[in-house]
Structure 1
Amino acid sequence: MRIRDLLDRRSIKLGGSATDKQDVINQMVDLMNAGGRIADVETYRAGVFAREEEGTTGIGEGIAIPHCKSDAVKEPGLAAMTVPSGVDYDALDGAPVELIFLIAAPNTEDNVHLDVLSKLSTLLMDEDFTAKLKAAKTVDEFLTIIDEAESGKERTEGIVGNEGGKLLLAVTACPTGIAHTYMAAEAIEKAAKERELAVKVETRGSGGAKNVLTNDEIEKADGIIVAADTNVPMDRFNGKRVVITKVADGINKADELIDKALSGSAPVFKGEGSQSESTGQAGGGSVYKHLMSGVSHMLPFVIGGGILVALAFLVDTICGYGESAGGAFGTMTPLSAFLKYVGGLAMGLM
C-alpha cells in the first residue's frame, strides 16, 4: 500500500482559504467525506475536534496534521488542502498553516495502513517536499510529488548515522500513534545525523513498538531521549540519564533535546518496578488527556440523545401539541415521552 492509495482525488483541494482553525478543520472533514471513507461524518468530525483538544496538530513550519481513529471510519484515508494565504491554527510555532493533511484511521486491528501514514509523517519533515506540495498547481502535480518522494524514502531499522560517533537513543510516542510519533522520530534522527552521531529511535504507534531498543544498546548509550505523551516502558532505563519530554518537543526542539541528552545534565532515571512507565506530560496534563479521551468516547451518546429529544418535539408538533403543550412539550404522547426520556438519559451521561 502506498500513500496515493489512501488519498482520493476528490479529497484534495489546492489554493483553498479558511477564516480560522475551526473552519479549516470542517472543510478538511468534508473533503475526507467526499472521498467515501467515512460512515458517520458528524461522529468523525467530533472525534477530530476532540483530538485537537488534547493538543494542537499544527506542528509548525506551516503544516498541520489533524487526525482521528474512530469507528466512524469505513476505511483508512487522507485528505489534503493547501492554503496559500495561511490560516491561524494555533500551531506550535505560532505561524499560519499553509498545508494540511487530515488522517482518518478505522478503529480496527488491521493496521496495514499505519506504515503508509508513518511514511507520510516522515516525509512532512522534509522542507523541500512540503515546499513543492504548497506550490503545486494541479492535483496531478500534487500526487506526482508524493509518489516520487515516497519512492525515494525508506525508513531504516537499527542504528543509523555515524557508527563511530556517540550513540543517541530515543523513544517517541503519542496517544493516537499515527503522526506525531513518526515525525518526532524523523526530526531526532535527522538532527543526530547532522551531528555525525549514531542514532536509533524506537517508535510506539498504533501499529505497536517498532525498532525496539535492546538492553545492550541502552547500556552503551551516551544519551537517551523519551519524547512521549503516552505511557512507555521505562524500567529498562533504570540508572541511566534520560531526557523525558512531550512528543511535540521531539518535532520542534530536537537539537535542544540532543544537547541536553549528551551534556550529562539530564536526571538519572530510577525505576519503581517492572511496570514503571512514563510520559512527557506533567500530572495535570495526563489527567487532562484522559479526561478528553473520555469526552470523545461519550460524544456519540450525547449526539444521539440530542437527536432523540429533537424527535420527541417533532412527534408532539406533528400531533398538534406545538402551541398547547407548554412545559410538557415533548412528552404529550407515549412515543414522544419515551424518546425524550431516553434522550435525556443519554445526554445526562456526559
Structure 2
Amino acid sequence: MRLDDYLDASLIDMNLKDGTKFEVIEALLDRLVAAGKVQDRERALHDVIEREKYLSTGFENGLAVPHAKTEAVSEMAMAFGLNRKGIDFDSLDGKPTHFVFLLLSPMHTGGPHIQILALIARNFQKPEIVERFRKASSVEEVIELLKAFK
C-alpha cells in the first residue's frame, strides 16, 4: 500500500492555514470535495469531528491524522497539509502539529484504513522522516517522501 496512490498535487496543501484543528480539518476536506472525492461534505465533516471529539488524533512529532469511516465517500480519500507555525491539535506530546493527514474511508473498509494509519504513524516515528517533511518546500518533494513510506 502506497500513500502516493491516494494523494496527488491537488490534495496537498504546503501552506495550511492557521486556525483551530476543526478549521484545519475543513480546509483539507474542501480539497477532497473540490477533487470530487467526497459526495457529502457535511456528512464527512460531521463524522470526522465526532471522531475527533471522541479522541484527539494529534500524535507526537508534529503529526495529526484526523480520520473517519463515513458514508460520504465511496472509496478511500486522503489530503495532506503542512503548517510551519504549528497548530494546536491536542497532541499526545502537547506540542504543535505541523503535518496533517485527513483520511476518509467508506463504512465497509477495515483493513486498508488501519494499514494507512499505521503506515503514517510508523514513518513519523523516524526523526529523519519528520525532518525531511519539515524541510519540504514543494508538493513534488512531499510526494517523493510519501513514495518512500514503507
TM-score normalised per structure 1: 0.40
User: How much has 1:83 moved relative to structure 2?
Assistant: 0.3
Task: Map 1:284-323 onto structure 2 (within 5 A).
Answer: none
Counterparts in 2 of 1:79-94, with a 5 A limit? 79-94=79-94
> Kindly tell me: are residues 92 and 144 of structure 1, through their superposed partners in 2, closer, same or farther at Cα, counting changes over 3 Å?
same
Deviation at 1:114, TM superposition (A): 4.5
SS at match of 1:7: coil
Distance 1:137 1:51 in 2: 31
**1:34/1:55 CA distance change after superposition, 3 Å:** same
Aligned residue pairs total 150
Asked if the contact 2:61/2:130 (under 8 Å) is kept, the reply is no
Contact 1:88 1:95 in 2 (8 A): yes
Question: How far apart, in 2, do the equivalents of 1:96 and 1:109 lie?
Answer: 30
Q: 1:108 to 1:6 in 2, by over 3 A?
A: same
Distance in structure 1 (CA, Å) of the matches to 2:117 and 2:128: 19
In the TM superposition, what whole-angstrom CA distance separates every residue of 1:125-154 from its partner, at most 9, and x where no partner exists? Answer: 22211221122111111101111x22xx3x
Give the SS at the match of 1:18.
Answer: coil
Distance in 2, Cα, partners of 1:88 & 1:111: 29
Which one is further off, 55-64 or 39-48?
Answer: 55-64
Kindly state the Cα deviation for residue 24 of structure 1 after the two structures are TM-superposed.
1.1
Deviation at 1:52, TM superposition (A): 0.5
Structure-2 separation of matches of 1:107 and 1:121: 22
Structure 1 SS opposite 2:119: helix
Q: In the alignment, is residue 33 of structure 1 matched against residue 56 of structure 2?
A: no
Residue equivalent to 1:128: 128
Q: Secondary structure at the match of 1:59?
A: coil
Deviation of the 1:121 alpha carbon: 2.7
Contact in 1 for aligned 2:61/2:124 (Cα 8 Å): no
Deviation at 1:113, TM superposition (A): 5.8
Tell me the residue number matched to 2:19: 19
> What TM-score comes out, normalization by structure 2 length?
0.89
Flag the 1:114–1:95 CA change in 2: closer, same or farther, 3 A: closer
Aligned-residue RMSD, C-alpha: 1.8
Q: Which residue identity lines up with residue 41 of structure 1 in the other structure? A: R
Runs of at least 4 residues off by over 3 Å? 109-117
Q: Does 1:77 align with 2:77?
A: yes
Runs of 5+ in structure 1 lacking a partner? 154-350
Question: Separation in 2 of the partners of 1:88 and 1:119?
Answer: 23
| Cα drift, residue 6 of structure 1 | 1.0
Q: For 2:88 and 2:113, how far apart are their aligned partners in 1?
A: 30
Residues 30-79 of structure 1, C-alpha deviation per residue, up to 9 Å, x if partnerless? 12223322111110001000001111111122111100111111210211
Deviation at 1:84, TM superposition (A): 0.5
Cα gap change, 1:90 to 1:126, in 2 (>3 Å): same
Give distance in 2, aligned partners of 1:113 and 1:53: 19
Q: Which has the higher contact order (CA 8 A, sep 6+)?
A: 2
Identity of aligned residues (%): 30
Equivalent residue of 1:10, what SS? helix
The verdict on how the C-alpha distance between 1:35 and 1:123 changes in structure 2, with shifts beyond 3 A counting, is farther
Would the aligned equivalents of 1:57 and 1:66 in 2 still touch at CA under 8 Å?
Answer: yes
| Contact 1:17–1:85 (8 Å) recurs in 2 | no
Given the alignment of the two structures, is residue 58 of structure 1 paired with residue 70 of structure 2, yes or no?
no
The C-alpha deviation readout for 1:294-344, integer Å capped at 9, x for no partner, is xxxxxxxxxxxxxxxxxxxxxxxxxxxxxxxxxxxxxxxxxxxxxxxxxxx
Give the direction of change, closer, same or farther, for the CA distance of 1:110–1:58 in structure 2 (3 Å limit).
closer
Q: Which moved more, 1:60-69 or 1:15-24?
A: 15-24
Aligned to 2:102: 102
Report the 3-state secondary structure (helix = DSSP H, G, I; strand = E; otherwise coil) of the residue aligned with 1:38: coil
**Per the alignment, in what secondary structure is the counterpart of residue 36 of structure 2?**
coil
Unaligned runs of 5+ in 2: none
